[in-house]
Structure 1
């Protein structure tokens, strides 16, 4: 199931939720400047409404710790999406699309390593590179960049096969998605799954065939969310397989954080490759 969302629709909803406050601040701004308030006020109003929306959407979750983790994840994802010059759909948008937040809450309560990860598909390789360049400017202690470039470094095979890595995995089945229009004729599709967020993959020592695997957008969002929350990146000494094979199915991509260079590397290996430091982060939804 898909649900469409846009920035203008979200803003109209926010102003509907806060009509008196919006009117008072609009009037005050107009009296002071003779003009209508600009994007700064609208952004603030959107943030305030987002906090209320999140609380309402998570209200059906019975476990307090699971609610807290969902709330913290969406707050971190909001910062991460800011680096990508976009916005994360509200939790109730995912619920309206068919995501069972109560089920996610129950799964979170049973596994402390699972992390709710909203992930966008269809941004494209240059958009992701620019996203990590902006994140590096905000967090130079964690993200650097080779020769002043983006700290997201992709091997040649990963660049060639990026289209396969930037789509919702076929192994995920029919996932609920929230569709976001980001330009004329261009849309991004968001999913919400729980991804094992431990320092190392949840399952180590197996080849690509032993999935399912988290997607490239999910791993990139997980890293950005951790960095935004002041936490250390994952995969500092391990590799995580990524969903979607490349090179006509001969190769698969893997993710690692290079602490020495402060970059995230996406490299490719034959799908039969395996080792003690290579594994999977099977997502659940």
Structure 2
């Protein structure tokens, strides 16, 4: 299912809210002569804002109603509550579940996948925070969670020089995954996927070629969410490969939680590197 375009969003609202459709038509009649001009752009922006506002107000209580299993709905709700706190540490606002559904995420299918695997966690992840934004998030988390610590001015998020230099690659959203776009604010948008959250990666002993891999923002959000819930962080004794190779495909980033320093470390190794403590957490969309 592809994400609805502007016309599709308006058709959706017309179908669900016929009374609103009359208001939209009246607004279009008032502003229609401005189409094709700067005024038309402003009207388009206003119209999109109104669509999102009305959907949010009218469907705000729907949440995860598409998820049939009550237990899995509770898992979604718990994950989103943790993600809201993690997003607050990052200084951003988590979109409502309906925004992900409108973007094309199939919550019913994700709920079925949750039911089949107790280790999976729904992880909404923001893209565009940059290194400074993520460091601030972990510094704020350290103020409220014993999972992270700081030594002097050092952040609990430590990046290898290669990861820092090419962070924009690691900050890319995964391809062909439904994306909730942000028109303003600190991030470009959000994805929602299920991430294996067992203490060790789901698949170990294989090189980077054996993916798929979760993105760095998904990995960081998972750890912040676990900290928000007071849960043990993952990768205390293992490494997880992260999506998007660096250095023209020679290197790939990997994640580990340094329990002694209470820090998240992102290091880089050649993509052919493998070992019993290095592996993948294949996400599900």
Instruction: Output the TM-score relative to the length of structure 1.
Output: 0.80
SS at match of 2:98: helix
- Specify whether residues 14 and 230 from structure 1 end up closer, same or farther in structure 2 by C-alpha distance, changes over 3 A only: farther
Choose which of 75, 82, 88 in structure 1 pairs with 2:88. 82
1:23 maps to: none
Q: Contact (CA 8 Å) 1:193, 1:283: kept in 2 or not? A: yes
Question: SS of 1:254's equivalent?
Answer: strand
Are residues 1:161 and 2:201 paired?
A: no
User: Matched residues in 2 for 1:135 and 1:158: separation?
Assistant: 22
Q: CA RMSD in A?
A: 2.4
1:16 to partner: Cα distance: 8.4
| Matching of residue 121 in structure 1 with residue 127 in structure 2 | yes
Whether the 8 Å CA contact 2:251–2:271 is kept in 1: the answer is yes
- C-alpha displacement at 1:187, in angstroms? 4.5
Q: 1:101 to 1:85 in 2, by over 3 A?
A: same
After TM superposition, the structure 1 = structure 2 runs for residues 164-179 of structure 1, keeping only pairs within 5 Å, are 164-169=169-174, 173-179=175-181
Deviation at residue 61 of structure 1 after TM alignment: 1.4
Verify: 1:64 aligned to 2:70, yes or no: yes
In structure 2, the CA distance between the partners of 1:84 and 1:122, relative to structure 1 (3 Å rule), is same
Equivalent in the alignment of 2:108: 102
| Between 101-110 and 58-67, the greater mean CA deviation after superposition | 58-67
The one of 180, 183, 186 equivalent to 1:181 is 183
TM-score (normalised: structure 2)? 0.80
Q: Choose which of 1, 10, 13 in structure 1 pairs with 2:53.
A: 13
Computing the radius of gyration over CA atoms, which structure comes out larger, 1 or 2?
2
> Are 1:226 and 1:233, in contact at CA under 8 Å, matched by a contact in 2?
yes
Quick check: 2:256–2:266 contact (8 Å CA) kept in 1?
yes
Structure 1 position 232 matched with structure 2 position 232: yes
1:181 deviates by: 3.3
Quick one: distance in 1 between partners of 2:230 and 2:117?
A: 22
Alpha-carbon distance between aligned partners in 2 of 1:14 and 1:260, rounded to the nearest angstrom:
49
Determine which structure has the larger strand proportion and give its number.
1
Structure 1 runs (4+) deviating above 3 angstroms are: 2-5, 12-18
What is the CA-CA distance between 1:189 and the residue it aligns to? 1.4
User: Structure 1 2/179 Cα, relative in aligned 2: closer, same or farther at 3 Å?
Assistant: farther
**For the Cα contact (< 8 Å) 1:206–1:274, is it kept in 2?**
yes
C-alpha distance after superposition, 1:112-142 (max 9, x if no partner): 1110000011111111111111111111x21
Indicate how the Cα distance of structure 1 residues 94 and 15 shifts in structure 2: closer, same or farther if over 3 A, else same.
Answer: closer
Aligned pairs, how many?
Answer: 243
For the residue of structure 1 that corresponds to 2:181, the secondary structure is strand
Q: Which runs of 5+ in 1 are unaligned?
A: 19-51
Q: Distance in 2 between matches of 1:247 and 1:194?
A: 28
Taking the aligned partners of 2:5 and 2:122, their CA distance within structure 1 comes to 19
Structure 2: segments with no counterpart, 5+ residues: 7-44
Question: Is the Cα contact below 8 Å between 2:125 and 2:217 reproduced in 1?
Answer: yes
